[in-house]
């Protein structure tokens, strides 16, 4: 029997809005609710795909700004998973390391929140299935300058081994260094799958282990552009790993260049603008699209005195 799970990270539930453009009340509300709606999409995906587990690799919350309302929302969603028999495994990241909510919230028994000591949890999946072991460790502080990989328990022979880790890997611009490590360190563990979090952009490495940084499931402004997604993962009894990307973002942000070069009159300009934005809308994988535009001006329009 295959083991199937959804892997996400950096949900940043109820993250405050950073973009001035989002001061527009309607837009602000849409984007303000988007992290929650994306999380509902993730839970819906777990239920419709009837997965065994949801793996959350850190930064579920944005930090201390989040209120008990966030906790109430999360409890409702966790209850949906619990009722469907979907287990939840989560570690803390740098943004939710100190979250008071994480400490106060009481989860059902189907939810595992890893603490400051490494743990390896074995799952019962029926007699004939290959056993599954899920390794995790949360660092208690918002800063973690050293690698955590060496602290994890060794892989369990004959089992599918999955590790949850919040890490900046070898370093990425715009992301604070946190439990840095490199792909070789992760591969040396010989785990089957490393479920990473922290970097908001998706990347996959398929060498001796499958190492997945899923990116965030919902961007928050133009600097987190592109469609956002989670991983739907199937690990067969022979331990082959199959990763599918599933889009979860409600709204996505894109930088769009409107090229008016060669546009000679206003009518042509209007159709060019509409055509460019329409094509961007068409290409988007989310229900809503927020664009930052850059306009390449038309020399002809200018010389016409327009």
CB of 12 to Mn ion, least distance (A): 9
- By beta-carbon proximity to Mn ion, the closer residue of 112 and 198 is 198
Piece of 61-69, 79-87, 91-99, 226-234 that binds Mn ion (CB under 5 A): 91-99
293, two tokens = 């535009």
CB of 43 to Mn ion, least distance (A): 21
Half-sphere exposure of 283 (CA within 13 A, CB side): 13
- By beta-carbon proximity to Mn ion, the closer residue of 77 and 94 is 94
Q: How many residues bind Mn ion (CB under 5 A)?
A: 4
Sites for Mn ion among residues 236-275 (CB under 5 A): none
- By beta-carbon proximity to Mn ion, the closer residue of 218 and 272 is 218
- Asked if 93 touches Mn ion (CB under 5 A), the answer is yes
- Asked if 12 touches Mn ion (CB under 5 A), the answer is no
CB of 206 to Mn ion, least distance (A): 23
CB of 149 to Mn ion, least distance (A): 16
Sites for Mn ion among residues 125-184 (CB under 5 A): none
Query: Cα dist. 183→194, 206, 213, 254 in Å?
Result: 10, 10, 11, 30
- By beta-carbon proximity to Mn ion, the closer residue of 61 and 253 is 61
- By beta-carbon proximity to Mn ion, the closer residue of 198 and 228 is 198
- By beta-carbon proximity to Mn ion, the closer residue of 7 and 155 is 7
* 25-48 and 68-83 helices, crossing angle to 10°: 20
The alpha-carbon radius of gyration of the chain (Å, integer) is 22
CA angle (67, 69, 73) in 5-degree steps: 130
- Asked if 192 touches Mn ion (CB under 5 A), the answer is no
Piece of 37-45, 60-68, 76-84, 87-95 that binds Mn ion (CB under 5 A): 87-95
Residue 86 CB-density burial (10 A; 0-12 exposed, 13-18 middle, 19+ buried): buried
- Asked if 198 touches Mn ion (CB under 5 A), the answer is yes
Sites for Mn ion among residues 26-85 (CB under 5 A): 59
User: Which residue from 66, 94, 138, 210 is in contact with Mn ion, where contact means CB under 5 A?
Assistant: 94
Piece of 94-102, 154-162, 202-210, 291-299 that binds Mn ion (CB under 5 A): 94-102
- Asked if 217 touches Mn ion (CB under 5 A), the answer is no
Which residues here bind Mn ion, judged by CB under 5 A? 59, 93-94, 198
């Amino acid at each position: 029997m295959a083991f199937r799970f959804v892997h996400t990270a950096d949900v940043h539930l109820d993250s405050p809005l950073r973009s001035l453009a989002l001061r527009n009340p309607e837009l602000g509300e849409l984007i303000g609710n988007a992290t929650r709606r994306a999380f509902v999409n993730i839970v819906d995906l777990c239920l419709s795909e009837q997965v065994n587990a949801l793996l959350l690799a850190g930064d579920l919350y944005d930090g201390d700004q989040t209120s008990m309302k966030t906790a109430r929302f999360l409890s409702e969603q966790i209850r949906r998973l619990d009722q469907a028999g979907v287990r939840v495994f989560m570690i803390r990241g740098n943004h939710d390391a100190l979250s008071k909510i994480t400490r106060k919230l009481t989860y059902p028994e189907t939810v595992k929140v890893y603490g400051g000591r490494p743990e390896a949890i074995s799952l019962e999946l029926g007699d004939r299935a290959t056993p599954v072991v899920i390794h995790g460790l949360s660092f208690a502080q918002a800063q973690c300058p050293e690698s955590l990989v060496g602290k994890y328990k060794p892989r369990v022979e004959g089992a599918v081994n999955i590790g949850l880790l919040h890490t900046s890997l070898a370093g990425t611009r715009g992301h604070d260094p946190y439990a840095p490590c490199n792909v070789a360190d992760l591969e040396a563990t010989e785990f089957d799958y490393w479920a990473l979090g922290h970097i908001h952009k998706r990347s996959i490495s398929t060498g001796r282990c499958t190492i997945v940084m899923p990116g965030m499931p919902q961007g928050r402004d133009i600097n987190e552009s592109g469609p956002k997604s989670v991983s739907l993962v199937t690990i067969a009894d022979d331990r082959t790993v199959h990763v599918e990307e599933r889009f979860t973002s409600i709204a996505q942000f894109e930088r769009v260049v409107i090229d008016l070069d060669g546009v000679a009159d206003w009518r042509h300009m209007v159709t060019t603008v509409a055509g460019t934005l329409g094509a961007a809308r068409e290409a988007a994988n989310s229900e809503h699209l927020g664009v930052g535009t850059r306009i390449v001006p038309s020399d002809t329009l200018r010389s016409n005195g327009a």
